[in-house]
Amino acid sequence: MTKRNTIILLLISFFVWLFAFRGFVRGELSLQSDATSYYDFFRYYIENLTRGVFPMWEPTRAGGVPIEFFLRRIGSFNPFILLIVIFDAIGFSYTTAYFLFLSTYYFVGMIGYFLIARHLFRSNALAFIAYLLLMFSSLGTRLFDSYIILTCVPMIWFFYFLITFFHEPKKHRLIGIVFCLMLLVTTYIPFYFVTIFITFLISYLIIYFRTLKTIFSRVSIFIKENKFLVILCLVITAVSLVPGVLIYKDMSKGEFVLPMRHYGSDSVNSMEVNINTITKWAMIEDITYSGYFANLKDFKFAVVYVPPLLYLLLILGFTAEITSLFLFLFIWGGINFLIASPDITNLYQYLYEHVFYFKYFRNLHFFLWMLILPVGILLLIEQFRQVLNFKLSSKFKKIALILFVSIAHALLLCFMIFEGGNIASSYIAIGLSALLFILYFLDKLKLESLPFIALLFLSIIVQPVEVYNYLQKNSLKQEKWYRYLDHDASWYRYRYYNEYSILRIPTAEEIDALRNKQNSDPESMTVFLREDPFRVYMAAKWYYFLMKTLDQKFFNSYQAWGPFRVYDYIEQIPDSEDIDLERIAFAFKNGRNVAFVVGDNIPYTNEKQSKLDNEYAQGISGDSQEVKVLHFDINQLRLKTNFPKRKFLVHNDAYHSRWHAYIDGNEVPLYRANVAFKGLWVPEGEHVVYLQFEKNWRHILNYFYLFLFFTIFISLIYFWIKSLECKDNAK
Amino acid sequence: MLNNLWIKRIAGLFKKVGIFYLFIFLIFANFTDYKKVIYKAKLSTLNRLRPISSSYLVEIEGRDLRSVDKKLLEKHEKYYKSVVNVLPTLPGPYGLLGYCQYYLGDERRSIDSFKKATALNSNIFSYFYNLGVIFYNQGRYEEAINNFKQAMSKNPAATVNFVYTSKVYLPILQDNSLGAQAAISKRIKQAYQYNVEMLVLSHYQLKQYREMTVLANAAISKGFDVDGEFYYLSGLAYYETRDYPQADQMLRECIKRNPQHAQAYHYYSLILRAAGQNDLASEFEVKSKHWESHQKIKHKNYVRLF
């Protein structure tokens, strides 16, 4: 297989893959499950970023939340995200641009996998089989219902750069390792990778211990020759850990809650997950679930599926001999299987108790997709490699092998029919595969020849294309309700409008109006239901407390007062959940002229309490005489105030201690007011009030990271091209 | 020499991947309780297999089978089949499976499922009632009577409690705002009334008029009658036995309670005609025709969710 042919085949297979998922790529079918919120957050992030704002606050979710958690989930510094902007600029709709980004990113990951396989097996043909099997496995379906791919792609490339670096240290490989590490530690959630990497090292030590000396000597020579680069890479790696450390520290304070995720955990850190939640659904459950979809016409998301050729490789490989590579892959996959199957051994429980990071990630079944599937394919290719190399010295041996191959195919066909997978393409795939192997063992086809590859290509892709067609048929047809699409509902119009509108929970009428629009898709309603206090995914702690404890009607009526409330008096309340909420709710309901404020030494506390019964708080919009919104974006708000006397201004956006307030350029205390919101004293007369989420250094840091990631990515490409040029020159 | 060759061959076998897999499998089979692991995994998967909403199950109750979206209902059927597979000792999944099968037009399997449900818990009213309905529709009146009688003998509270506490019914109750115990009681109370009506009708089909009158009159005296139906059924039985004075009384009571009861007008007109009051009879026949054309026929011979 020539280089040119390989590239053409890789591209053709990608286009076939795109064709197989055309309904999703064209945006005709809805994203499912977690993929929806990722779509939303990507959009939110990119739309803000392209307007020059690095978003750190999200005012429309549960009254306002910091989004550091979601920025980490999407891997906000990943240069590949730029693809969405590019596709968008070319003229694709955002949805299509997003799907094209996902698909391209997936393809990039598969190329990395191809390179790993080629490095291991030293054969383009075998690498191409591995690539096709993984690409057309149901890992690709997870683009549209999960976010696994965001971690998988850098992980694949990390291992590619790592093993090639060990084999032959080069600058671009070291930069590649660092770049992938940077992506992995800033993308949700690095702990899968950490576990997979540690188990990789353990397995490697067990099987290849003797080679360590050679590797060390190679690497030490490289370090001696490239001291500056190595130190720089170490520093950059350490620096890329900072966003992760910051979010860990922020989460540890407990100001940001993830009720559904954190449910049942005693820890203050909202990232921590209860062990029962984690072990409820692990790898065995995912495999069992997939068993219900043996009838491929019922194919759905999250079902483990591989092209039928893989089963043939398994059966044929029984006759292969155990090799070091086989054992290494088996041990590596095996350890992860045991970790991710808490019902089989107590290994996971042990790690949960003794290794700190095991408390911070769930979805153990992801190991199946991230590791077991790709490693399993490599393992079977390793078996297959030996089968192909069998020396068939006699005619009898040849006939025996052909008979074995035929029986294996017949058995697989029977199994498929019995299990309900008897779709037309199954017969074609098995037939083509049988023809391929028989011709090969009769010496009519050569492994690296184009006819072999073409026949193999067809036998692998034919069934997945039909299966994914069923997946599309079984998926939601109409466009789902995505959060950041323009919408009629007034509560939703928060972005870049001239008027400043309050962000609040929609009223019952607004929800009804939306329901009428969306009633054809029952799933879309979950978007609204998540605003329900019992279905909140993430929120600022005190806002969530208020949502949970205050009657929804009180809450809505308070919110309906508008973005600001102005008070003459304040009353101090304790910084705990032990507050007289009934009295506070009464005050809210009756619009009493007192704000309930948390803090020490707050000026003008408890003044003139006796007059309260006859005085009312003032609800103010953003374009009144007293308060005028000068500028706002997602992270900040600038107001011009002009009160006849000193007032306590409450901004009805959730409180978080990382918000800061300034009056005429001077920082002033910002209090937690009315249990969950932001409040501050504003003096009489004309002033400019400025509220900003996070200090300036955090904003600068984000831009610095964007710059750093792009720089490293460009360096990687530069050094790689340079290395290829050197190789060509050497030839 | 030969021995050496064979020893080499046997030793070589242990280097084979197939033997290695077999070895690993044996370790797993011996050192793990894999049956328990798989059972637990199957239990966990059931929730995910459940269709997004169960409101369609409530929607189709009482509907003409031809108007049922079979594809949608098959998803529910498949789910309950999976539940039955994992939890074969629970009656609830069998009951719901039988319900799906009935509306998919597969009465034979539906009967099997309901019979299994009754065998697993003989205190549940609904399963006997549903069996009675299917047998009635098939013209197997003796079996229908037997099941309606069984249903009638069950304590409604036991059924309410069963439905309210069963995990398999929980999503149906939640998705359809039927979660309150009072709502379940109301449905089951109505089903009991239908059960007696169906029992009376079964006797009617077998021309067992005496049993009809006994049952209908008992239902009236127990306050089961809501819309004059039992007065009508009692009147019908008296009419068939030519006890016109009694029939007259009962049918008039029925009309008093339900002035739109077309059948009651019809039989009342027949009695009047027999008594020679042809003009009056014609007048009631007209009323019968009028209400017949306006009447929304309330089928009762359908399988119920619970």
Q: Which two tokens stand for residue B23?
A: 């070895």
**Residue A507 pLDDT > 80, yes or no?**
no
Number of domains chain B is built from = 1
pLDDT at A649: 95
* Interchain pair A317, B17: CB under 8 A: yes
Amino acid at A432: L
**Residue B228 pLDDT > 60, yes or no?**
yes
d(C-alpha A716, C-alpha A180), whole Å: 10
pLDDT at A525: 36
**Residue A432 pLDDT > 60, yes or no?**
yes
pLDDT tens per residue, range B199-222: 999 999 899 989 999 999 988 888
DSSP assignment of A422-467 equals --HHHHHHHHHHHHHHHHHHTTSS-TTSHHHHHHHHHHHHHHHHHH
Place of tokens 């064209």: A26
Chain A residue at shortest CA distance from B45: A289
Domain for residue B17, yes or no? no
d(C-alpha B164, C-alpha B178), whole Å: 10
Domain for residue B15, yes or no? no
**Residue A78 pLDDT > 50, yes or no?**
yes
Domain for residue B306, yes or no? yes
The confidence band for A491, taking pLDDT boundaries of 50, 70 and 90, is: very low
CB atoms within 10 A of CB A634: 22
Minimal CA separation from B47 to chain A, in Å: 10
Say if A276 is an interface residue toward chain B (CB within 8 Å): no
* Interchain pair B16, A326: CB under 8 A: no
Domain for residue B18, yes or no? no
**Residue A581 pLDDT > 90, yes or no?**
no
* Interchain pair B49, A292: CB under 8 A: yes
Rounded mean pLDDT, A59-69? 85
Burial of A343 (0-12, 13-18, 19+ CB in 10 A): buried
The rounded mean pLDDT for chain B is: 86
Hey, CA dihedral for A37, A38, A44, A45, is it positive or negative? Answer: positive
Chain A residue at shortest CA distance from B19: A318
pLDDT tens per residue, range A387-403: 888 777 778 888 888 89
d(C-alpha A561, C-alpha A179), whole Å: 49
DSSP assignment of chain B equals -HHHHHHHHHHHHTTBHHHHHHHHHHHHHHHS-HHHHHHHHHHHHHHHHS-S--HHHHHTTT--GGGS-HHHHHHHHHHHHHHHHH-TT-HHHHHHHHHHHHHTT-HHHHHHHHHHHHHH-TT-HHHHHHHHHHHHHTT-HHHHHHHHHHHHTS-HHHHHHHHHH-TTTHHHHHHTT--SHHHHHHHHHHHHHHHHHHHHHHHHHTT-HHHHHHHHHHHHHTT--SSSHHHHHHHHHHHHTT-HHHHHHHHHHHHHH-TT-HHHHHHHHHHHHHTT-HHHHHHHHHHHHHHHHH-------S----
d(C-alpha A346, C-alpha A338), whole Å: 9
d(C-alpha A443, C-alpha A447), whole Å: 10
Give the domain extent around B266. 207-306
**Residue A422 pLDDT > 80, yes or no?**
no
Higher-confidence position of A629 and A713: A713
Residue B169 half-sphere exposure toward CB, CA atoms < 13 A: 23
* Interchain pair A321, B49: CB under 8 A: no
Longest dimension (CA), chain A: 108
CATH number of B233's domain: 1.25.40.10
Domain for residue B255, yes or no? yes
Higher-confidence position of A622 and A507: A622
pTM, rounded to two decimals = 0.85
DSSP assignment of A180-194 equals HHHHHHTSS-HHHHH
Rounded mean pLDDT, B88-111? 94
pLDDT at B43: 87
pLDDT at A553: 67
Domain for residue B68, yes or no? no
Poorest-pLDDT segment among A153-162, A359-368, A498-507, B40-49: A498-507
**Residue B252 pLDDT > 50, yes or no?**
yes
pLDDT at A588: 83
Higher-confidence position of A534 and A308: A308
Q: Which residues of B touch A320 (CB under 8 A)?
A: 16-17
Rounded mean pLDDT, A350-374? 93
Residue count of chain B: 306
pLDDT at A266: 72
Poorest-pLDDT segment among A164-168, A263-267, B26-30: A263-267
Q: Which residues of A touch B16 (CB under 8 A)?
A: 318-322
Q: Are strands A671-673 and A594-598 parallel, antiparallel or unpaired?
A: antiparallel
The confidence band for A534, taking pLDDT boundaries of 50, 70 and 90, is: low
Substitution target from B16, B17, B40 for chain A, most A beta carbons within 10 A: B17
pLDDT at A599: 85
pLDDT at A101: 95
**Residue B179 pLDDT > 60, yes or no?**
no
> At a CB cut-off of 8 Å and minimum separation 6, what does B202 contact?
B132, B136, B141, B144, B145, B148
pLDDT at A671: 96
Q: Are strands A685-693 and A659-663 parallel, antiparallel or unpaired?
A: antiparallel
**Residue A246 pLDDT > 60, yes or no?**
yes
Rounded mean pLDDT, A64-89? 92
pLDDT at A612: 54
Say if A523 is an interface residue toward chain B (CB within 8 Å): yes
CB nearest A288 (choices: B17, B45, B53): B45
The rounded mean pLDDT for chain A is: 86
The confidence band for A529, taking pLDDT boundaries of 50, 70 and 90, is: very low
Minimal CA separation from A371 to chain B, in Å: 19
In this prediction, the answer to ipTM > 0.90 reads no
DSSP, collapsed to helix, strand or coil, labels residue A687 as strand
Domain for residue B299, yes or no? yes
pLDDT at A456: 92
d(C-alpha A397, C-alpha A390), whole Å: 10
- B53 to A33, A519, B177: CA distances (angstroms): 15, 13, 12
Percent helix, strand, coil in chain A (nearest 5)?
60, 10, 30
Q: Which residues of A touch B17 (CB under 8 A)?
A: 317-322, 326, 383
Q: Are strands A569-572 and A594-598 parallel, antiparallel or unpaired?
A: parallel
DSSP, collapsed to helix, strand or coil, labels residue A269 as coil
d(C-alpha B293, C-alpha B286), whole Å: 11
Q: Which two tokens stand for residue A254?
A: 């407990």
Minimal CA separation from A207 to chain B, in Å: 16
pLDDT at B95: 94
Residues of B with CB under 8 A from a CB of A: 15-18, 20-21, 32, 34, 36-38, 40-42, 44-45, 48-49, 52-53, 78, 82
> At a CB cut-off of 8 Å and minimum separation 6, what does A229 contact?
A171, A174, A175
pLDDT tens per residue, range A644-690: 999 999 998 899 999 999 999 999 999 999 999 999 999 999 999 99
Identify the top-confidence range among A35-39, A716-720, B178-182: A716-720
pLDDT tens per residue, range A437-485: 999 888 888 888 888 999 999 999 999 999 999 999 888 775 555 666 5
**Residue A502 pLDDT > 50, yes or no?**
no
Amino acid at A383: Q
Domain for residue B250, yes or no? yes
Higher-confidence position of B170 and A365: A365
Poorest-pLDDT segment among A119-133, A554-568, A704-718, B25-39: A554-568
**Residue B177 pLDDT > 90, yes or no?**
no
pLDDT at A609: 57
d(C-alpha A689, C-alpha B128), whole Å: 73
Rounded mean pLDDT, A327-334? 96
pLDDT at A26: 83
Q: Are strands A57-58 and A65-66 parallel, antiparallel or unpaired?
A: antiparallel
Q: Which residues of A touch B40 (CB under 8 A)?
A: 343
The confidence band for A526, taking pLDDT boundaries of 50, 70 and 90, is: very low
d(C-alpha A180, C-alpha A80), whole Å: 12
Cβ atoms A319, B18 nearer than 8 A: yes
Q: Which residues of B touch A284 (CB under 8 A)?
A: 37-38, 41
Q: Which residues of B touch A281 (CB under 8 A)?
A: 44
**Residue A420 pLDDT > 60, yes or no?**
yes
CB nearest A318 (choices: B18, B42, B82): B18
Place of tokens 């080069």: A170
The confidence band for B276, taking pLDDT boundaries of 50, 70 and 90, is: confident
